[in-house]
Structure 1
Amino acid sequence: MRSQFLTILCIFSFLSCTWGVIESSVALYNPEAVAETPFTGHKPSNETPDRRDPRTFYEDSGANSDNPMPEDPRVVRQLSLAQLVYSLVALAGVVLMFFLRRIGFYIYVIGVILGFALPLYFVGLAGLGTSFTVFFSVLFAVMYGFCLREMK
């Protein structure tokens, strides 16, 4: 019988992996449009904001990135392919763990390793920023490790 903890972990992982598959599929389908996505975040200004003003108190003044997405459609395609592979492998592992199969844990861990390694392989150190999102999967892998006794 599956514990409530393992069930909740699997549900969160299902949602995360499904979102990753959808997001990477959209980016693979049209990488040119993704590469042209404008930056809509905070624009740094030359004036110092008045921190006593409630409208500016909660602003993130440290956000000054010029462009959060790669501008090269080839890089977008490579990163999307890496995310798709990571999401599909991790999803396969989660499905197996949901049915209490221990091999699913090892497949999930392989997916997490791919999630770190593939962006680095495709685009070098610039892929490290996209690999950071896989960090939470490492935490989930540790939590799944606590549930290994339940799996056969």
Structure 2
Amino acid sequence: MQKNILLATLASVLFSGNVFAEDISGIWQQIDDKTGAAKAIIKIDKETNNTYTGKIIKVTPRPGYTPRATCNKCPAPYTNDPILGMEILKGLKHMEGSNNYENGRVIDPLAGKIYDAKVRLNANGKRLTLRGYMGVSALGRSQTWIRLN
């Protein structure tokens, strides 16, 4: 009887969507929100202060597009930095009891702009939805990132 109750409880937790993945560390494929094409590969690491940072580890070439090598429109300290190796995501903090990460900053090295950022990890831990915005989240843009590892 107790075994059946334990199995039923475990099954309800696993299939209810209330299981929260708390770690977004890993390798992610960034998908362009305008074209749907792969843009770059990002490595996200958890820092000692329990925030997350993301760095471009590969720029994905697209047909008919020559990738820019440097962040020439970016504000200091990013001005003219190489895009490959650039830390584009900083300061994300996990929101307890959820799959949400907030209070981060993301830089768009092609536009040279820095945005507030928040992330939602889907239930199976395979996709991130990153929302970049200025001031109000409703006025921002979202990108999907797909876990590669």
Same fold (TM over 0.5): no
Higher strand share: 2
TM-score normalized with structure 1 length: 0.31
TM-score normalized with structure 2 length: 0.31
Q: Name which structure has the greater RCO, CA cutoff 8 Å, separation 6+.
A: 1
Structure whose CA Rg is larger: 1
Higher helix share: 1
